[in-house]
Chains A and B, each alone.
Chain A
């Protein structure tokens, strides 16, 4: 999603620059609270980690591959403020050293990739962790959902910026379609890897997951108490099913929302099987180039398909998005049900935690 110079007009670039500067200023204060005097070394190492993780390509559908953006991961692991700082620093260095993302577009890039992703992730994550039962699995589910939403949210933010200050008049509908459609896909990969990574960290060093601090402290005590990781020791067994039921309502709402989102996307994508993709195909733009592009830039989303039939692929992103959302939703239900059975069953029968089991 690295926007180059000249893509967004000067006034909008300047405005986003101000937004970015303000957010970074707030984050600088906040990060000291999150990490106290260890801020610089730890945030630096986390930034290096995000940089490295961006090289981790994961295979997505249809022969393309995406890579982690890392904003969601950073927000959950080290907190939103430090997350904003880390991703911003990564973007800054990419812009200056690798010319990846324009210097004048730095504000745009930081706003949508560092700020929107981390803030959306963290907000969604905190809410979910609060309403879901206190268990590791909930953290994994919350991470998945938060990361899943963060990427299309960044795409929306980009579309918005584009609508305000885009230098070309491609219709907003088309931009939104392509951006959000593709990013639902990328978001899925981001979500899965983020959730699994958080799960893996929680399994080994639960204290390092910033977003789950309250949770881990209690878990640890319990572990010390009886040397097993026993969800059966939940404080109020009678209250748990009730709580779970009320959460289920919330989950259904969430699921419906994401279905609507995905449906919206697929509607757009299929109702306008337009020139974008068709042209990309007709003009014979190199296939590998498209793959490469899709792995990194949103714009490359325009060339995401290497399916032969351009029209068919026009709706592909949306369709996959719907399917994936349904799958995610089912996963959530499955997880909730498993947790409930685990709650009522003796400790030993609980399924392995995601972190260790996957």
Chain B
């Protein structure tokens, strides 16, 4: 349904891209993200993932829903190779996540962590946003331009020279998004993007995310936010994808929600909310 074949986004002038990476792409149109049969156990023996399969096409905005302890964060850490799969594969735009491709994978997959204080580790906003591109070898005017563009996209340009810890929480989260956007990723992965935000900051962040034309995977248990932003959702429960379908349909399925410990806020009716840009209206397939 999404016949984009180029394995690398057109807007990726990074010097780190080796020309020979394309041949490794899987046959057929490369999805932004393709996870198949992913299983993982921590060194202490605790198994968190039991065979995760899904595919996200370019330009989709998908929510990954699941209760606490479902393995969401573990899954996210597989997407850029911080954890390596015990079994199964992860491909980003056709490129398999493994040791050889690590630098490129980490550029393509931009993860926005839950606590912006973890993500913003440099002394000023500008240096923080520049960190990723600079690590990839960008310098000088090109680097500055990249930083300005990323900050522009989240509306934080005038805070360029401020230290991150002097910003409000909402502003810090936006800068955290900018640090990742500056790497011009293939897919943006957000871990609980709406947590700790006041309603206005929530709104602003939602507008920013909607305005971006990158693939987005949003890990959350904030169901209304998922409904607002993501036409499609995956439910991760007990280490497997338990459901995959249009967000509105999944949320309306009370039995499914209850079975996976997902609860809508009191008085919230998913059927009453119109979802924007329903471009990936796949039919729901419940596992």
Q: Which residues of A contact B (CB under 8 A)?
A: 41, 220, 224
Taking a contact as CB atoms under 8 Å apart, the answer to whether A224 and B121 are in contact is no
Residue of B nearest to A41 (CB): B121
Contacts of B44 in A (CB 8 A): 220, 224
What are some 4 contacts across the A-B interface (CB < 8 A)?
Answer: A41-B121, A220-B44, A224-B44, A224-B45
Contacts of A224 in B (CB 8 A): 44-45
Residue of B nearest to A44 (CB): B121
Contacts of A41 in B (CB 8 A): 121
Main secondary structure of the interface of B (DSSP, over half): loop
Contacts of A220 in B (CB 8 A): 44
Complex CA–CA separation, A39 to B137 (angstroms): 22
Contacts of B45 in A (CB 8 A): 224
Complex CA–CA separation, A220 to B44 (angstroms): 9
CB distance from A196 to the nearest CB of B (A): 26
Contacts of B121 in A (CB 8 A): 41
Complex CA–CA separation, A41 to B44 (angstroms): 24
CB distance from A209 to the nearest CB of B (A): 16
Size of the chain B interface, CB-CB below 8 angstroms: 3
Residue of B nearest to A40 (CB): B121
CB distance from B47 to the nearest CB of A (A): 14
Residue of A nearest to B121 (CB): A41
Residue of B nearest to A220 (CB): B44
- Pairs of residues from A and B, 4 with the lowest C-beta to C-beta distance, nearest first: A41-B121, A224-B45, A220-B44, A224-B44
Complex CA–CA separation, A12 to B55 (angstroms): 67
Complex CA–CA separation, A41 to B122 (angstroms): 11
Complex CA–CA separation, A224 to B121 (angstroms): 37
Which residues 116-172 of B have a CB within 8 angstroms of A? 121
Residue of A nearest to B45 (CB): A224
Complex CA–CA separation, A196 to B50 (angstroms): 40
Complex CA–CA separation, A224 to B44 (angstroms): 9
CB distance from B97 to the nearest CB of A (A): 19
Complex CA–CA separation, A220 to B121 (angstroms): 33
CB distance from B43 to the nearest CB of A (A): 10
Complex CA–CA separation, A220 to B42 (angstroms): 14
Complex CA–CA separation, A220 to B43 (angstroms): 12
CB distance from A333 to the nearest CB of B (A): 36
Which residues 72-113 of B have a CB within 8 angstroms of A? none
Complex CA–CA separation, A178 to B275 (angstroms): 75
Complex CA–CA separation, A41 to B121 (angstroms): 9
CB distance from B265 to the nearest CB of A (A): 33
CB distance from B236 to the nearest CB of A (A): 26
Complex CA–CA separation, A84 to B157 (angstroms): 40
CB distance from B11 to the nearest CB of A (A): 30
Residue of B nearest to A45 (CB): B121
Complex CA–CA separation, A312 to B121 (angstroms): 53
Complex CA–CA separation, A42 to B45 (angstroms): 25
Complex CA–CA separation, A163 to B121 (angstroms): 44
Complex CA–CA separation, A41 to B131 (angstroms): 14
Complex CA–CA separation, A120 to B45 (angstroms): 37
Residue of B nearest to A207 (CB): B44
CB distance from A52 to the nearest CB of B (A): 15
CB distance from B84 to the nearest CB of A (A): 16
Complex CA–CA separation, A259 to B44 (angstroms): 44
Contact with A along B42-54 (1 / 0, CB 8 A): 0011000000000
CB distance from A25 to the nearest CB of B (A): 25
CB distance from A93 to the nearest CB of B (A): 13
CB distance from A229 to the nearest CB of B (A): 16
CB distance from B164 to the nearest CB of A (A): 15
Contact with A along B18-48 (1 / 0, CB 8 A): 0000000000000000000000000011000
CB distance from B121 to the nearest CB of A (A): 7
Residue of A nearest to B118 (CB): A41
Complex CA–CA separation, A22 to B44 (angstroms): 39
Complex CA–CA separation, A224 to B45 (angstroms): 10
Complex CA–CA separation, A41 to B45 (angstroms): 27
Complex CA–CA separation, A280 to B45 (angstroms): 63
CB distance from A291 to the nearest CB of B (A): 33
Complex CA–CA separation, A308 to B197 (angstroms): 57
CB distance from B82 to the nearest CB of A (A): 12
CB distance from A56 to the nearest CB of B (A): 22
Complex CA–CA separation, A41 to B119 (angstroms): 12
CB distance from A1 to the nearest CB of B (A): 29
CB distance from B65 to the nearest CB of A (A): 30
Complex CA–CA separation, A143 to B121 (angstroms): 32
Complex CA–CA separation, A41 to B118 (angstroms): 10
CB distance from A216 to the nearest CB of B (A): 12
CB distance from A315 to the nearest CB of B (A): 49
Complex CA–CA separation, A224 to B43 (angstroms): 13
CB distance from A148 to the nearest CB of B (A): 34
Complex CA–CA separation, A212 to B211 (angstroms): 51
CB distance from A257 to the nearest CB of B (A): 41
CB distance from A207 to the nearest CB of B (A): 9
Complex CA–CA separation, A197 to B121 (angstroms): 27
CB distance from A247 to the nearest CB of B (A): 31
Complex CA–CA separation, A220 to B46 (angstroms): 13
CB distance from B223 to the nearest CB of A (A): 32
